[in-house]
Amino acid sequence: MTTMTDPPRESFRLSMLINDTRYRSMTFQAIALFSLIVAIAYLANNLLTNLAAQGLNIAYDFLGDPAGYDINQRLIEYDSQSSNARAAVVGILNTLLVAFLACFMATVFGVIAGVLRLSKNWLVSKLMAFYVEIFRNIPVLIWIIIIFTIMTAVMPAPRAFRGDEPEATMLFGAFAFTNRGVYIPAPVWGPGSMVVVLTFLASIAGVIGYRRYATNLLYATGKLLPMGWPSLAIFFVPTILVYLIMGRPIGLEYPELGGFNFRGGIQIGAPLIALWFALSIYTGAFIAENVRAGIQSVSKGQTEAASALGLRPNRVMNLVVLPQALRVIIPPLISQYLNITKNSSLAIAVGYADITATLGGITLNQTGRAIECVLLLMLFYLTISLSISGIMNVYNKSVALKER
């Protein structure tokens, strides 16, 4: 109806780069990019000058050279003639092993302490509060060293088991607790043991199948099948039967004193135990707090409503409280797992051969390739962290409240 005229198109002026919000962000980013490039160039230039001045270079050839040292705990074949790269892989596996064990144990400690801290029993809740405070407020490195010192200074040396009246004896004749580690019986896989293992796996599948069937039946017809004892039966009976039928194919090899150490059985080294326990107890204190916060975050009304519906207490816990609490508990739990993995790098203090001790320790010392080793080390931890946080993001998305 009226002639709309566009406002006169402003021609671009240089001052708009600073004053016009449309262009200002461009200016800032350009400045940031420029300073970033300058900074990187400056650092790289320094690095190259320094390296050139000393006639050094950056090269990764050393990874293929024989490492030349031995590692006391290895999950894969390794000897002193293996390459540095293989030593690094041994270290990676050891890191993952101790991280996995510690995550499991820390969860157990944390859940127990977290639940008990909410207990109505005054003494128990105070004791748990004491545990949480004492472990949260003292550095993990001190705990690792303390527990390692307990391992080495308090436990008996293997030579204490020697003689007619030894100072120390093995537990049940099968477990030896020494200051070099714990020796436990190792399974010996005889012929036919595969069948037993397969049966065992099948019975696990059976338990899951049965429980799923029972749940479906409950939802479909309202008929409640017993869950507890049939699960146990499916879990144990077939395996034991097959084990007996096959003529006990799986035996145990007991550790015995021989030479300087115990021989036979499985040795769990003292450094592994010290690191494992220290990390679990320390992180368990943090997890306990997460668990407590999670349970407290479920409002009392939920419990009361569930009881009003006639649910029994254990069902209230399983069906109402836990699913809601887990939503709060799991994200911090996963970041605690991440912390365990990162803190496992303190293995260096107790001589556990993790990646920091092999690649970032002995290999670095022997080859003198400090920059390369530290870079690879950071790359490894970065990969682990990013994958764990990736998993966490997926989980968070899947449990996020679906609001409609």
Partner 1 sequence: MSDTQQHSISFVRTETLPEREPPYAASGPVKWMRENLFATIPNGILTIVSLYVIYLILAATLPWILNGVWNTASLSECRDVLDGTVGACFSVLTERWNQLIFGFQYPEELYWRPGLAFLLLFVAAAPVLFFDLPRKLLIFTALYPFIAFYLIWGGTILTPIVALVGFVAAGFFWKNFVARSFALGFFGSIVVAFIVWWLGGFLISDTANENAAMQAVPSRDLGGFMLNMMLGVTCVSLSVPLGIALALGRQSSMPLIKWICVIFIEFIRGVPLITLLFVASVMLSYFFPPESQVDLFLRVVIMITMFSSAYIAEVIRGGLAALPKGQYEAADSLGLDYPQAMRLIILPQALKISIPGIVNIAVGLFKDTTLVSVISMFDILGMIRGPILASTEWNGVYWELLGFAALLFFIVCYGISQYSQWLERRLATDHR
Partner 2 sequence: MTKSVLLGALTVAGLAAGAAAAGTLDDVKTRGTLNCGVTTGLVGFAAPDANGEWNGFDVSVCRAVAAAVLGDPNAVEFVPTTGKTRFTALASGEIDMLARNTTWTFSRDVDLKFTFVGVNYYDGQGFMVPKALGVSSAKDLDGATVCIQTGTTTELNLADFFRANNISYEPVPIETNAEGQQQYLAGACDTYTTDASGLAATRATFENPGDHVLLPEIISKEPLGPLVRHGDDEWADVVRWTLNALITAEELGVTSANVSEMATSSGNPEVKRLLGTEGTLGEMLGLDADWAQRAIATQGNYGEIFAKNIGEETPIALARGLNAQWTNGGLIYSPPFR
> Which of partner 2, partner 1, none sits in contact with 179, Cβ below 5 to 8 A by type?
partner 2
State yes or no: residue 106 binds partner 1 (CB under 8 A): no
Closest CA to 292 of 263, 261, 333: 333
CB of 184 to partner 2, least distance (A): 17
CB of 365 to partner 2, least distance (A): 4
Report residue 71 as tokens: 């590692």
> Which of partner 1, partner 2, none sits in contact with 121, Cβ below 5 to 8 A by type?
partner 1
Q: Which stretch in 132-140, 271-279, 313-321, 391-399 sits in contact with partner 1 by CB under 8 A?
A: 132-140
State yes or no: residue 247 binds partner 2 (CB under 8 A): no
State yes or no: residue 258 binds partner 2 (CB under 8 A): yes
Output 43 or 201, the one with its CB closest to partner 2: 43
d(CA 200, CA 237): 10
Helices then strands, each counted (H, E), the chain: 14, 7
d(CA 316, CA 303): 7
State yes or no: residue 129 binds partner 1 (CB under 8 A): no
d(CA 84, CA 69): 9
Q: Are 161 and 170 in contact (CB under 8 A)?
A: yes
Radius of gyration of the chain (CA): 30
> Of the candidates 37, 38, 41, 51, which one interacts with partner 1 according to CB under 8 A?
51
State yes or no: residue 159 binds partner 1 (CB under 8 A): no
Q: Are 185 and 389 in contact (CB under 8 A)?
A: no
State yes or no: residue 365 binds partner 2 (CB under 8 A): yes
d(CA 186, CA 132): 35
Q: Which stretch in 87-95, 147-155, 218-226, 312-320 sits in contact with partner 2 by CB under 8 A?
A: 147-155
Residues 6+ apart with CB under 8 A from 340: 99, 102, 103, 106, 279, 283
State yes or no: residue 136 binds partner 1 (CB under 8 A): yes
Output 382 or 399, the one with its CB closest to partner 1: 382
CB of 98 to partner 2, least distance (A): 15
d(CA 380, CA 372): 12
CB of 88 to partner 1, least distance (A): 14
State yes or no: residue 32 binds partner 1 (CB under 8 A): yes
Closest CA to 117 of 278, 280, 290: 290
- DSSP label at residue 9: P
State yes or no: residue 381 binds partner 1 (CB under 8 A): yes
Report residue 313 as tokens: 């207490």
Sites of contact with partner 1 (CB under 8 A)? 18, 25, 28-29, 32-33, 36, 43, 46-47, 49-51, 53, 116, 119-124, 127, 133-134, 136-142, 145-146, 149, 153, 342-343, 345-346, 348-349, 356, 360, 364, 370-371, 374, 377-378, 381-382, 384-386
